[in-house]
């Protein structure tokens, strides 16, 4: 343990208003901590970037999951376990439920939160590819009120987001219109559990008579930010799935992504596997045939 607890302040207001007021008092001074599965690791390694923390663990305003007709609002403080166990999420947003199930292992799923995953802004964040293809929107809250932003382009650069210094993510909104879509997701890590992703792809598509009517593809760990493969989507949208299309999609994906060599893997491996996953998705899509209910 390479940090001294005596050097750190941690406060735990019991409501969201008190938290956002504190953040506004001194923007950037207080680091919000939810389940701690990212920040406490940095803390133990002596690398926490601040000395004042405000706990947002267990704030009731952040733990609600509200199911409305058109969308579901997931409180940013919901844990991965809560996502996995939620009926609507597992039925209508299986990519998110699966991502929650391969983040860390059970103990970390019981503490890690969806908001924390988004704000930690790792390009390897497990939930992001799913959130991107589901076209999630984020409700951000501060003393100035709420604003709603798309998850797309919320991550602006490596480990940077559009979150203002005094803002928190309050909820993640997912539109309930993907039930008819074929869904695909696969995470490639160094082992089957407790692994940071080397490559991750999530995809949704709706087909009719072998033609891709609509498609969304996103990838993690292949760029400084989690990435929607918009160019690749454009290439395959409206097309018939056949070997030539797989080649074009693979080529487009290879050009859209920008993987690196790092401690976990190599750029070439990541690029090849990302291409394989995109191609595997299209292949499965063609075998699946008509729309799924």
Partner 1 sequence: MNPPPGKSLKRDITFVVNGKERKVEAYPMERLLDVLRHQLTLTGTKEGCGEGECGSCSVLMNGVLVNSCLVPVLQARDATIVTIEGLTKGQRLHALQEEFLVCGGAQCGICTPGMILAACHLLKKKANPTPDDVREALAGNLCRCTGYAQIVEAVLVASRRGSET
Partner 2 sequence: MNSHPIIGAPVPRKEGRDKVTGRAQYIDDMVLPGMLHGATVRSHVPRGKIRKITFGPGIAWDEFVIVTAKDIPGKNYIALILNDQPCLAEESVNHAEEPILLLAHPNRHILAKAVAAVAIEYDPLPPIFTIEESETRREIIWGTDNVFKSYLVEKGEVQGIWERADYIVEEEYFTRAQEQLYIENNGVIAVFHQEQGITVWGSLQCPYYVHKALMALCGLPAEKVRVVQMETGGAFGGKEEYPSMIAGHAALLAIKSGRPVKIIYDRMEDMVATTKRHPSRTRHRTAVSKDGKILGGEIDFTIDGGAYCTLSPVVLSRGTIHAGGPYYWPNIRIRAKAVATNAPPHGAFRGFGAPQSLFAMERHMDRIAQLVGLSPDEIRRRNFLRPGQTTTTEQVVRDPIDLGKLLDRALELSDYHAKKQRFARENTGARVPAHAGGKKRGMGIAAFLHGAGFTGSGERMLSSVVGVEGCADGTLRVLVSSAEFGQGTKTILCQIAAQALGLRYEDVSMAQPDTMDVPNSGPTVASRTAMIVGKLVQSAALGIRQTLIASGRLSDSYSPEEFRAACRGHVAEHGPFRSLARYEEPSGVFWDDQKYRGEAYATFAWAVYVAELTVDLTTYSVSVDDFVALQEVGKVLHPVLAAGQIIGGVAQAIGFALYEKVIWQDGRMLNGQMTNYIMPTSADLPAIRVFFEELGNVHGAFGAKGIGELPMDGPGPAIVNAVEDALGIRFDSIPLLPEDIFKAVTAQQELEPAGVPG
Going by C-beta distance under 8 Å and a sequence separation of 6 or more, which residues neighbour residue 69?
Answer: 176
Q: How far is the CB of 247 from partner 2 (least distance, A)?
A: 5
Please report whether residue 51 would count as binding partner 2 according to CB under 8 A: no
Please report whether residue 12 would count as binding partner 1 according to CB under 8 A: yes
Residue 212 β-bridge partners: 207
Please report whether residue 145 would count as binding partner 1 according to CB under 8 A: no
Q: How far apart are CA 127 and CA 138, in angstroms?
A: 13
Phi-psi region of 70 (alpha: psi -120 to 50; beta: other; left: phi over 0): alpha
Residue 58 binding: pick among partner 2, partner 1, none (C-beta 5-8 Å cut-off by kind): partner 1
Please report whether residue 263 would count as binding partner 2 according to CB under 8 A: yes
Task: Please name the residue that has the structure tokens 């988004």.
Answer: 118
Q: How far apart are CA 141 and CA 164, in angstroms?
A: 10
Task: Please name the residue that has the structure tokens 């039925």.
Answer: 91
Please report whether residue 105 would count as binding partner 1 according to CB under 8 A: yes
User: Site for partner 2 (CB under 8 A): which residue of 23, 227, 246, 253?
Assistant: 246
User: Site for partner 2 (CB under 8 A): which residue of 54, 218, 257, 273?
Assistant: 273
User: Site for partner 1 (CB under 8 A): which residue of 20, 22, 23, 81?
Assistant: 81
Greatest C-alpha distance within the chain = 65
Which residues ranging from 165 to 224 are in contact with partner 1 (CB under 8 A)? 192-194
Cα 86 to Cα 81, 139, 166: the distances in Å are: 9, 20, 30
Q: How far apart are CA 239 and CA 235, in angstroms?
A: 8
Sign of the CA dihedral running 17, 164, 197, 253: positive
Distance spanning both ends of the chain, measured CA to CA: 51
Please report whether residue 19 would count as binding partner 1 according to CB under 8 A: no
Residue 272 binding: pick among partner 1, partner 2, none (C-beta 5-8 Å cut-off by kind): partner 2
User: Site for partner 1 (CB under 8 A): which residue of 32, 36, 220, 275?
Assistant: 36
Q: Which positions from 52 to 71 touch partner 1 by CB under 8 A, shown as an x/- string?
A: xx-x-xx-------------
Stretch that binds partner 1, among 5-13, 182-190, 246-254, 261-269 (CB under 8 A): 5-13
Interface residues toward partner 1, by CB under 8 A: 1, 3-12, 33, 35-37, 40-41, 43-45, 49-53, 55, 57-58, 81, 104-108, 110-111, 192-194
């Amino acid at each position: 343990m390479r940090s001294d607890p005596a050097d750190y302040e941690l406060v735990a207001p019991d409501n969201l208003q008190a938290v956002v007021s504190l953040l506004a008092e001194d923007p950037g001074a207080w680091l919000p901590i939810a389940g701690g599965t990212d920040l406490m690791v940095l803390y133990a390694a002596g690398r926490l970037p601040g000395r004042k923390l405000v706990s947002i663990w267990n704030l009731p305003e952040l733990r609600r999951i509200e199911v409305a007709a058109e969308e579901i609002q997931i409180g940013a403080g919901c844990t991965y376990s809560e996502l996995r166990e939620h009926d609507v999420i597992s039925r209508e947003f299986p990519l998110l439920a699966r991502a929650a199930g391969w983040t860390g292992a059970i103990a970390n799923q019981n503490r890690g939160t969806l908001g924390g995953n988004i704000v930690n802004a790792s390009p390897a964040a497990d939930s992001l590819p799913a959130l991107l293809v589901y076209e999630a929107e984020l409700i951000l809250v501060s003393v100035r009120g709420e604003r709603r932003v798309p998850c797309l382009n919320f991550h602006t650069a490596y480990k940077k987001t559009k979150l203002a210094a005094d803002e928190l993510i309050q909820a993640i909104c997912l539109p309930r219109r993907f039930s008819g879509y074929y869904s695909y997701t696969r995470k490639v890590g160094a082992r089957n559990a407790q692994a940071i992703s080397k490559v991750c792809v999530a995809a949704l598509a709706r087909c009719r008579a072998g033609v891709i009517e609509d498609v969304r593809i996103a990838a993690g760990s292949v760029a400084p930010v989690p990435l929607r493969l918009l160019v690749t989507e454009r290439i395959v949208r409206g097309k018939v799935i056949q070997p030539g299309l797989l080649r074009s999609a693979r080529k487009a994906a290879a050009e859209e992504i920008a993987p690196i060599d790092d401690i976990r893997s190599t750029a070439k491996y990541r690029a090849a596997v990302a291409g394989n996953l995109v191609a595997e998705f299209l292949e499965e899509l063609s075998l699946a045939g008509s729309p799924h209910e």
